[in-house]
Structure 1
């Protein structure tokens, strides 16, 4: 059923991007594939939101037998290629991670993978459905130096990738130190991978705080989460991960932080469907989460505001996903913050557009610029 605030193309992109389709949604998807629409726009939306792989899997599973009557059969091959590329990229990363994990284990360093391949397995059941370009390594701050030594011994360099020379350009020492002092992570570690078909270099982001994008330290929480880490199978490889409830807290904070800051909005990193789908998928997978434990832990850490924000956005785009008992337990006194964009120190904009529509408004940052000009 077409949502009143979405165009036909936006609605089609949303249906195609939704894992765990119900019977009524499958029938609707089949009908939409037979309709005349601007399929170039739909393909662009799937690409921006990193959901092309999900779209391919949905079509292949539920509608490929009807393809001779589709209005845009050319569109299918693009989706198939994107999915297969994502799968190979994920497998390259998973294989390259193993050498690093073995070295960390030998040194007795406690670590866990967050987001990325683990979420591809947990939330989607297929690592090819979750596009990721780097690997997030979660450690305690007191093991930063030793972890850095391990990475450097393996040939990793902190810096940025130079596409012209196909080498890593080392970061300046002052920039490396600045990021550690003012953020939750280190400067990215990179290692060229000429042996891989799909990735130029293997990237490791070392994260040591759950209060993302700030210099605030959460050492005790990080240590608690690592003490509960578990081994889980990712594409038939055993890896260390955060416990499911801790991982979900981390995902919610990550979504919240990237949704509220002006620089993230201007970079179009604020509202991407794949970030919501990570959370959505964890709730949809049967027996994955202990919801009551998740709520208790969120409240114990004082993360209600950030977690509620993310869960509210999930329910706005995918209604009735998050149980009322979770929402009621975490709801803060004021909900004004759900529509606010923050600059360095204060609110710089308040959104009026519905959340679902805003996800598909690619030029939404222009509204902030208009607002700022009007205020002046």
Structure 2
């Protein structure tokens, strides 16, 4: 059934991107695959939203036996290649992470991996279904310097990748310090990896706050979360991760911050399906979460507004995923912020387009008309 406000191609891309299809949706997906559509557009959407791996897995599981009737065979092959590439990319990263984690463990540094491969395993059960280009390390601020020393000893440099020379261009000291002071994460650490087939360099982003993209200090919360860290298996590799409920809080805040700020919108980082699917997947995996504990912890930390934002977006795209009890417990007094874009503290745009449609409106940032309405 075509979802309201979506074109046929957008609807097909959304169905293919869902790793938790119900029986009726599987039948609908099979029908959609053999309809006349612009498959180039669908392929582009899946690529932008980093859900090509999920689409391939759905087709292989539920519709590959019908492929002789499907005219756009290049579409299937493209998805298969992307999925296999994502598996190898993930495994390269996981292997290189092992070397770093061993060095951090030897120094007694308390850390956890957030997002990325852990979510690929938890939310999807397959690291090939989620594309990630970097690895996020979560530490307390008082171990920032020592963590930096470990990374440098292993050959990592803070900077950007130069594709022409296949080397890391070091960042300026002022830029490194500015990012630490204003975003609570470090300038990316990079290390060339000529031994790898699928990645040019191994990238590490060091996070030392929960309230990202601000100067707000959350040191005590970070330390609490790290004190609860757990070991989990990712593609048969043991890694340190945040506890499931803490990880979900982190994901929700990260989604909120990237969805509301103008520079993120203009960079097309605001509404990507894979970020929403990470949250959706954690709710869909049976027995993964203690939902009551998640709500209590969110309220104890005062993160209701940010977490509610992310969960509201999940329910708009995948209806009835988040229980009403959760939404009611976290709902803030005003919901106007759900449609606002901020530049610093100023509201510069209010979206009128439905959330589900906005995910597929690639040029949505062109609609933004700046105005000076101070956010209270």
Q: Normalising by structure 1, what TM-score? A: 0.98
Deviation digits for residues 300-353 of structure 1 (CA, Å, limit 9, x no counterpart) = 000000000000000000000001110010000100000000012210010000
Taking a change above 3 Å as real, the CA distance of residues 55 and 155 of structure 1, as seen in their structure-2 partners, is same
Measured in 2, the distance between the counterparts of 1:128 and 1:217 equals 35
Where do 5+ consecutive residues of structure 1 fail to align?
none
Residue in structure 1 matched with residue 137 of structure 2 by the alignment: 137
Q: Name the CA distance, whole Å, in 2 between partners of 1:70 and 1:371.
A: 49
Given the two structures, how large is their TM-score scaled by the length of structure 2?
0.98
Q: Counterpart in 1 of 2:221?
A: 221
Match of 1:50 in 2: 50
Q: Is the 8 A contact 2:16 2:58 kept in 1?
A: yes
* 8 Å contact kept, 1:36–1:71: no
**Contact kept in structure 1, 2:123 and 2:282, CA below 8 Å:** yes
| Greater Cα offset, 365-374 or 185-194 | 365-374
1:296 is matched with 296
**TM-superposed deviation, 1:372:** 9.1
Which string of whole-angstrom CA distances, capped at 9 and with x for unpartnered residues, describes residues 125-170 of structure 1?
0000110000000000000000000000000001100000000001
CA–CA distance in structure 2, aligned partners of residues 81 and 107 of structure 1 = 40
Shift of 1:374: 18
- Deviation per residue, 1:64-112 (Å, 9 max, x gap): 0000111322200000000000000000000000111001000000000
Deviates more, 1:55-64 or 1:171-180: 171-180
Residue deviations 1:36-66, cap 9 Å, x none? 0000000000000000000000000000000
Contact 2:345 2:375 in 1 (8 A): no
State the distance in 2 between where 1:194 and 1:43 align: 30
Alpha carbons of structure 1 residues 371 and 141: separation in structure 2 relative to 1, 3 Å: closer
Question: C-alpha displacement at 1:375, in angstroms?
Answer: 17
SS of the residue 1:371 aligns to? coil
Q: CA RMSD in A?
A: 2.0
Residues paired across the two proteins, number: 376
Conserved? CA contact 1:185–1:209, under 8 Å: yes
Distance 2:216 2:85 in 1: 37
- The 1-side partners of 2:215 and 2:18 are apart by 36
- Residue 281 (structure 1) shift: 0.3
1:287 counterpart SS class: coil
The answer on whether the counterparts of 2:183 and 2:212 sit within 8 Å (CA) in structure 1 is yes
Q: CA–CA distance in 1 between the matches of 2:20 and 2:321?
A: 12
8 A Cα contact 1:123 1:281, kept in partner: yes
Give the CA deviation at 1:373. Answer: 14
Moved more, 341-350 or 309-318: 341-350
Is the contact between residue 347 and residue 375 of structure 2 (CA under 8 Å) also seen in structure 1? Answer: no
- Determine if contact 1:186/1:205 at 8 Å carries over to the other structure: yes
Counterpart secondary structure, 2:373: helix
* 1:158–1:21 distance in 2 versus 1, CA, 3 Å: same
